[in-house]
Amino acid sequence: MVKEQLRARGIHDPGVLDAFNKVERHKFVLPEVRDSAYGDFPLSIGEGQTISQPYIVALMTECLEVSSSHTVLEIGTGSGYQASILAEQALHVYSIERYEVLASRAESLLKELGYNNITITVGDGTLGWQAYSPFDRIIVTAAVPRVPLPLLEQLRNGGKLIIPLGGSFGQVLTLIEKEQDKINYRNICDCVFVPLVGKYGAKTNN
């Protein structure tokens, strides 16, 4: 996976590659798809949600340039895989998931794996997590047409936020940098994510 899917496509940050070598992806997927855990595609994790393709997880992580002093907010815990990759590099990862069943499964797995720098809560991630803000880095792992305002407010000056922006059929992975309260946007690539559902989220019937 690391050689053929990540390095070959240009992922080169040693911290990101080390994290992928260390974290065992098969532990984060459902038993029935464990044989496909290292495949070049997303997989179902239940509740109609997915664990993203390894390359997309790596690309988003590399774009954020996470360091060991950083506090990171993740919206969309899902399986907990992205949180663990981030936690290998960050000081602390705060992660919000809207489905209780996914949050509690991820929480017990991450505890079992020995991560003591990840805090998970159940809730609407479009509101951010005011109590622990401002964040050095924010990652949104579900799609929305516009960046939820609370997330921009909770991003530290000098901070970076990565998010898939667009409608339900396709989005543009977008890297946002906040400098002296000015917001700069950079398009990274096309992508497809499940919708971000919530107060400042995509409009859906869920």
Quick one: 166 or 201, whose CB is closer to ligand SAM?
A: 201
Site for ligand SAM in 127-146 (CB under 6 A): 141-142
Closest to ligand SAM by CB, 78 vs 159, is: 78
Does position 54 interact with ligand SAM (CB under 6 A)? The reply is: no
* Residue of 97, 110, 162, 176 that binds ligand SAM (CB under 6 A): 97
Residue with tokens 């992660």: 95
Helix (H) or strand (E) holding 179: strand 170-179
| Structure token digits, residue 78 | 């899902």
- Distance separating alpha carbons of residues 116 and 131, to the nearest angstrom: 19
Residue 132 DSSP code: G
Catalytic residue among 52, 79, 84, 95: 52
Q: Say how many CA atoms lie within 13 Å of 61 toward its Cβ.
A: 30
Residue count, binding to ligand SAM (CB under 6 A): 26
In whole angstroms, how close is the CB of 124 to ligand SAM at the nearest point? 5
**Residue 206 DSSP class:** -
Sequence letter at residue 20:
F
Active site residue 52: yes
Residue 106 vs 176, nearer CB to ligand SAM: 106
Rounded distance between C-alpha atoms, residue 37 and residue 24, angstroms: 9
- The 3-state DSSP class for residue 112 equals helix
Nearer to ligand SAM, 176 or 197 (CB): 197
Q: Which residues bind ligand SAM (CB under 6 A)?
A: 49-52, 75-76, 78-79, 81-82, 96-99, 102, 124-126, 141-142, 193-194, 196-198, 201
